[in-house]
Structure 1
Amino acid sequence: MKEFDTTFGLRKSPLTPISTSQWIILSILFLMARQGSGQICNTPNWREYGNKQYLLVSNIGRTWNDAKDYCRSQGGDLAVITSHEQNSFLNTYTLKRTSGYFYWIGLSDIDGDGGYTWVNNTPSGFSNLRPQGEQGGCVRLTTTHSGQWEGSDCAISRVHICQRDSDPRCSWHQYGQSFYRFMGDGRSFDSAQTECANIGGRLAVIRSTEINTFLESFLTPALSSPHCYWIGLSRSSDSEPFSWNDGINLNDSQWAPGEPLSSTERSCGCLWSDGNNADNNGRWDSRTCGDTLPYICERPQIPLDGKWIEIAAVNDVQYYFSTFSSNYFTANEYCQQIGGHLAQMKTSTIYVSYFT
């Protein structure tokens, strides 16, 4: 038997400064809190944070209006920033990609009424406009001023940040002792298996109706066309039984009507997402293993070398200290692997002394 690798209108002024006393930067250890997500999703170049995806368009400059139109053509809009945490994430991300750049965000006084509003009219009291900063009809996020915002001439071409709603399948979801994630880039069965292994897992093994029902709950009925996601099921030919990628033969199956098909070639299994056909949706199909399909990865919950800590001042949240140093992005990914996300220190009643 094979081993499972575990290894956001605002007035332009006055402004209330953001209190930095509520935010703690831990340079050696990082905290994690259960609930939430943050990771690169399967759509190229989009980075996920919370329930949104972000695209930093840093290879071409556009006017504010053109940037807005471009983001909308990608299924989103210019970024709407509603919290310090979100702004910090985007600032960290922009610094990772570029230096000294000014990114258009979705805040403007495009109608000239003297007040900034977001592109989607989202109400919020959060502002990160820089006192004594430049003025203008449209707002940019500045990497040279720690992610603070400034007004600017809307007709200037600048790089920009797009934002759109994220697909819940893009996050890791726990069932039992495993985490599952739908991956949207098409690959052959073997390539998908390799990619899952590269992130510490394997193609999903579905040994029970309960697991199949759990995965089916994330399938989107409104997809414009049916999709079938590789799972870790294959056989070398008709003369051989289907088996899982851990070497165990298939027992409990969820085949769609008429499946599996006969084939003299190697066949591999996939999970149907078809909102127009109840007989297929959530059932399995057999395909030639070289077909290019999206896929589902599974990986185990990473064993912890410490324990989750509960704090009386914070309800329903637990914290965990890592025992190693890491950059922001690796830390965020690790936190999700163990069922949490990087800690958000939202109140001054939480001190590091709780943890030491």
Structure 2
Amino acid sequence: MTCDLGTLKWNSATVVCLDLSPYVALGYTEVCTTESVLKFVGNKVKFDVAKGSCEGDGGHLARPRTTVRWNCLKEYCFVKSREVHVWMDITDRIEEGVLLFTDNSPVPLPHYWQPGEPLASTKDSVDCVAVWSDAKQWDDLPCGNVAHYMCEIEL
């Protein structure tokens, strides 16, 4: 159970409490605030398999919607595993160079690419984005590659 100070109503503050036990039972943990819970999955799978697995839990692949959120996600990846790629919910499948989350909302700036990334379109389409855990930066990969992944359920 986690509780936060809510809004002021009739001159007294309300307290909002969330029961996180259903998420914990699925392997999720509260990281950096209660805006969402995260789960690191150490199995290496293709992007679409990772996406489907997260959706099966009622969530999605992790989305770095703000700089604060990105800082949280990269540190979470770094602590969970080293020298691995970890899928995030970012692709440019619809239009090369236009980064979207899989709900088709735009990925806000700034972007956190490794030097030399993103790669230009090639015969081996590099349309999906993963975190390279040691560098704590984004890497442009073919969606058919396998990587670990982070699921997120927004609260």
* Higher relative contact order, chain-length normalized (CA < 8 Å, sep 6+): 2
Post-superposition Cα deviations, 1:72-91, rounded to whole Å, max 9, x if no partner, equal xxxxxxxxxxxxxxxxxxxx
Bigger radius of gyration, 1 or 2?
Answer: 1
Distance verdict in 2 for CA 1:273–1:240, change over 3 Å: closer
1:262 CA displacement:
1.0
| 2:47 alignment partner, one of 189, 203, 211 | 189
2:66 paired with 1:208: yes
- Aligned position for 1:272: 132
2:150 paired with 1:293: no
- Retained in 2: the 8 A contact 1:180–1:298? yes
**For 1:221 and 1:193, how far apart are their aligned partners in 2?**
19
- Retained in 1: the 8 A contact 2:96–2:121? no
- Retained in 1: the 8 A contact 2:96–2:127? no
Alignment of 1:41-52 (within 5 A): none
- Aligned position for 1:241: 98
- Retained in 2: the 8 A contact 1:231–1:296? yes
1:245 CA displacement:
1.3
Q: Secondary structure at the match of 1:257?
A: coil
- Retained in 2: the 8 A contact 1:238–1:263? no
Matched pairs, number: 132
1:197 CA displacement:
0.4
| 1:228 alignment partner, one of 78, 81, 85 | 85
- Length-normalised TM-score, structure 1: 0.34
Q: Secondary structure at the match of 1:286?
A: strand
1:250 CA displacement:
2.3
Post-superposition Cα deviations, 1:90-137, rounded to whole Å, max 9, x if no partner, equal xxxxxxxxxxxxxxxxxxxxxxxxxxxxxxxxxxxxxxxxxxxxxxxx
Deviation >4 Å, runs of 4+: 32-35
Post-superposition Cα deviations, 1:44-65, rounded to whole Å, max 9, x if no partner, equal xxxxxxxxxxxxxxxxxxxxxx
Normalized per residue, which structure has more strand? 2
Post-superposition Cα deviations, 1:298-346, rounded to whole Å, max 9, x if no partner, equal 1122xxxxxxxxxxxxxxxxxxxxxxxxxxxxxxxxxxxxxxxxxxxxx
1:258 CA displacement:
1.2
Q: Share of identical aligned residues, percent?
A: 27
Q: Secondary structure at the match of 1:290?
A: coil
Amino acid at match of 1:259: E
Distance verdict in 2 for CA 1:261–1:210, change over 3 Å: same
**For 1:34 and 1:188, how far apart are their aligned partners in 2?**
29
- Length-normalised TM-score, structure 2: 0.73
1:34 CA displacement:
6.9
Distance verdict in 2 for CA 1:270–1:34, change over 3 Å: closer
**For 2:130 and 2:141, how far apart are their aligned partners in 1?**
7
